[in-house]
Chains A and B, each alone.
Chain A
């Protein structure tokens, strides 16, 4: 299956200072603690954004909007990733690029 890669997606999504999804070490602590049991968020989804795989990101809007933003994952994150703020930025990007009108 071919994947369309869009260079610069991460810059467009996470343009604000303090958004640090690239600090994610992919360890999986967030997934283990997520009260929603969302396996995709945040690490795989952040990876999609960092790799410019916008189609994959858009396919996962339900998971993106199902995050509670409760920060339980952040309490244990060894990379000190601002997960909730990064997810909010993803929502903003989807609203502006895909939900506008």
Chain B
């Protein structure tokens, strides 16, 4: 049985308001991916993760906890839990995911940083100021908390002199590029996804990939931000053969991710439908959003190989000296 949306939304938006993220995570967890990359702090152009990839293992834990609570007698205690969470960060008691759970997501971020470097893009990183964008709270209609967060992010950009932001995932791209300008006057930041930036560059090919894959477009990239051709161009240049679905590009089908926080079981049902479509076309699916990846992987139960696009690009263009954490 799903937990009351009122309390889940309350806890997540209180966290954003009080602790700067829907699921507060340590600065170490946010910035670990950048260890050893020697990225300069701040600068006019920065790579901004918005914590999306780093949050995935924590979101998975939250969803498991919600499913367990929903089936237990404790389900009725979410109201008091919401009030208590304002004083004590209850989400911290979910525990920290193991290193292995975080490694895959960190690797995506390192892939992106290295690909940008190989393409000759100069950029810095904001480290502890790489704040969550508020994407989930925005979807849940917690507008006051989202506006407050947008103002925080803008202050960070101003303090570091940031004028150009390169984003890694569709949700942060949409928030920073399309939502924040509606919330903040004199925003003035140019936002582009790393896929858009890389698509304009010539990357040297070191090891072309001969895989046949099906591309799962993110709803947010395809229908909110019109990022459709860029991932296809990048994969084709890397040697990958893309087998297209009928429901691709602007007509892509959702992975179910937006329902995870309130109705996890409905989310799985949507993801299973999508997995079936993808499996009929190719045994390997490429994602470009951490939420899509985790949902499709979970729903496929191992019957479909689901990989982030950066893994293919890094394999084709990356170098062996790339440091591992």
- Does A6 interact with chain B (Cβ within 8 Å)? no
B interface, over-half SS:
helix
Residues from chain A with Cβ under 8 Å of B140 in the complex:
65, 91, 95
* Residue interface bits A71-93, CB-to-B below 8 A is 1, else 0: 11011000000000000111111
- Tally of chain B residues near chain A (CB < 8 A): 27
CB of A75 within 8 A of CB of B139, answer no
CB of B253 within 8 A of CB of A72, answer yes
- Does B156 interact with chain A (Cβ within 8 Å)? no
| Residue from A66, A69, A72 in contact with B251 in the complex, judged by beta carbons closer than 8 Å | A72
* Total A-B residue contacts, Cβ distance less than 8 Å: 67
- Does B223 interact with chain A (Cβ within 8 Å)? yes
Max chain A C-beta neighbours (<10 A), residue from B139, B142, B250: B139
**Known contacts A35-B270, A66-B259, A88-B139; is-contact A99 B9 (Cβ 8 Å):** yes
**Known contacts A35-B253, A35-B273, A66-B263; is-contact A71 B141 (Cβ 8 Å):** no
CB of B266 within 8 A of CB of A95, answer no
- The 6 A-B pairs with the shortest beta carbon distances in the complex, nearest first, are A91-B141, A92-B141, A70-B254, A71-B223, A70-B219, A99-B6
Identify the B interface with A (CB < 8 A): 5-6, 9-10, 13, 138-143, 219, 223-224, 250-254, 256, 258-259, 262-263, 266, 270, 273
Pull 17 A–B residue pairs with CB atoms less than 8 Å apart, ordered by A.
A35-B273, A36-B266, A65-B5, A65-B262, A65-B263, A66-B263, A68-B219, A68-B259, A70-B219, A70-B223, A70-B258, A71-B223, A75-B250, A88-B141, A91-B139, A94-B141, A95-B140
